[in-house]
Structures are given as structure tokens and as C-alpha cells.
Amino acid sequence: MKTKQKIIIAGPCAAESLKQVIGTAKGLKKRGIKIMRASLWKPRTKPGFEGVGEKGLPWIAKVTQMGITMATEVLFPEQVDQVVTGVIENGGDSDNLLFWIGSRNQNHKTQKEIANRVHKISKKIKLMIKNQPWRDESHWLGIVDHVLSTGLSSDRIILCHRGFSSGWSANPLGLRNIPDWEMSMSVREKTNLPMIIDPSHIGGTVENVFRIAKESALYNFDGAIVEVHPRPKKAKTDAKQQLTVSQLDDLLKIL
């Protein structure tokens, strides 16, 4: 395993405004956090705010200018090109990017095409892979195999455990998704790739985010991705699970 220090990714669920994005980036930089998350496109369970799209490209370009790696979810291969081009056109650092394949994105051809774009565009851009919604270790490993088949180097890949659908499991704590600690550690061992935890999408509420972070500390995760918002109650997505920056300070002590 090549990872030596914890990978910490923090930021809002979705980019909403220039003020929100830059304000968050400044707060993260003060804390030494080098990777910020903020998605431009948001897949939704039901119709609603689907992200600002290309409007937010100048915002994330400014974040890369601050020396912070910008992490964002892409749904389609062409969005990789849109982000890279948009960052370059707005004076940003296109190598200072991290894309991720979300849990809903389970078309293996799309997964491979996204990985192939990342592989060909830059030798520095990293790719994160979140687990699928249902419990199946072989499928999770299969996603990794599809991505690696494109030639993308393993040292540019991060895995993320964001839990599995709670629809068919006992859920006394009211978690958004159910973690499988043993499976995530098994996938980590079999792939020899860094595995980070997503307490935000497992927890679903601020209280549960802290509960899951404490539980995950018992396992050998390589870091975490956490949703943080300047004004969580005003967030357009995932308002119940996003932390304030001060709450992030408390969470980092646990992680």
C-alpha cells in the first residue's frame, strides 16, 4: 500500500456559488486540507437541483489556483473534457483535479470511457471510484478491473466506501446507507488500492456522520471524504448531513 498519510477530501455536496466555493476553499486551506470536493453535476433520486454545470467551471479553476486539488463527480466521459478545458480557459491548473465515478454510475462502458479520458488527458489527474449501491464484492472488484483495463495507473486511483442501500437491511440508527467494514477492507486488500470512507453518505445526518467516523476509526481506512458547507441549512442538496467548518475541526480529531 503506497498511501502514507491520510487522504482528506472536504467541501460542499454541490457547487452553488462563487462565494460558497471560494469561502470553503479558504477555510480548508487554513486547515491544511489539500483536496476540496464540490460537484457541478448532481444525479438526483427525484427531480430537483441538478447542479450548476459548466457555470461553475471558473469557480473551480480559482480553487486550483489556490493550490488545492478540486474533486468533482462526472456522470459522462465528455464532462471530463468539459472540466479540464474549462479550468484551462479560466487560468486554472488542469493537473490539480480529481474526478470520481459515483455509486449510481454502473454502466461499465461509461466507467471505462471516463477512466480512459482521465488516462489520456493527463498523467497527474486522479480518479476515485465509489462502491455500487448494492452489496456485492465481486461487482465492486469488477468496477476496479474495468477502470484498470484502460491502462490508467493504479497509483492514480482511490477507492471510496459510501455504504450500501439501506432498503433491505435493519437500520435502527436511521443511516442513509449501511457500511460493510469487512467488505471494504477485503476490497482494499485484494486491489492494494487506498480506501477512504464517506461518513456523510453513510450517516445522512450530522450526528450519524460523527458516529460513523468513530466506528470507521477502528478500521484501516486511508482517509475520508466529508461534506462541509458554509451554511448547511441553506444547502441545495444534502443539507442534513453537511458539516460546518468548525464541526469539521471536531471530526478531523476523530479521523
Does 26 reside within a domain? yes
* pLDDT tens-digit readout, 100-127: 999 999 999 999 999 999 999 999 999 9
Res. 1: pLDDT tops 60: no
Res. 134: pLDDT tops 60: yes
Does 233 reside within a domain? yes
Strands, E, within the chain: which ranges? 7-11, 35-37, 69-73, 97-101, 126-130, 157-161, 164-165, 177-178, 195-197, 223-227
Assign residue 128 the CATH number of its domain: 3.20.20.70
Res. 168: pLDDT tops 80: no
Domain interval for residue 84:
7-254
Other CB atoms closer than 10 Å to residue 109's CB: what's the count? 9
Residues 6+ apart with CB under 8 A from 123: none
- CA-nearest of 46, 44, 102 to 76 is 102
Q: How far is CA 33 from CA 3, 5, 29, 58, 248, in A?
A: 16, 12, 6, 21, 11
Does 2 reside within a domain? no
Evaluate whether 52 touches 42 at the Cβ level (below 8 Å). Answer: no
Phi-psi region of 154 (alpha: psi -120 to 50; beta: other; left: phi over 0): alpha
Does 196 reside within a domain? yes
The pLDDT value recorded for residue 119 is 97
Does 1 reside within a domain? no
- Report the share of the chain in percent with pLDDT over 70: 98
Mean predicted confidence (pLDDT) in 16-27: 97
Q: Are strands 164-165 and 177-178 parallel, antiparallel or unpaired?
A: antiparallel
* Sign, CA torsion 122/41/5/246: positive
Overall domain count for the chain: 1
The pLDDT value recorded for residue 3 is 46
Predicted TM-score (pTM) of the model is 0.95
* pLDDT tens-digit readout, 52-81: 999 999 999 999 999 999 999 999 999 999
Evaluate whether 45 touches 17 at the Cβ level (below 8 Å). Answer: no
Other CB atoms closer than 10 Å to residue 107's CB: what's the count? 11
* pLDDT tens-digit readout, 89-104: 999 999 999 999 999 9
The pLDDT value recorded for residue 166 is 86
Does 172 reside within a domain? yes
- Look at 3 and 178; give whichever has higher pLDDT: 178
Q: Which residues pair with 14 in a beta bridge?
A: 39
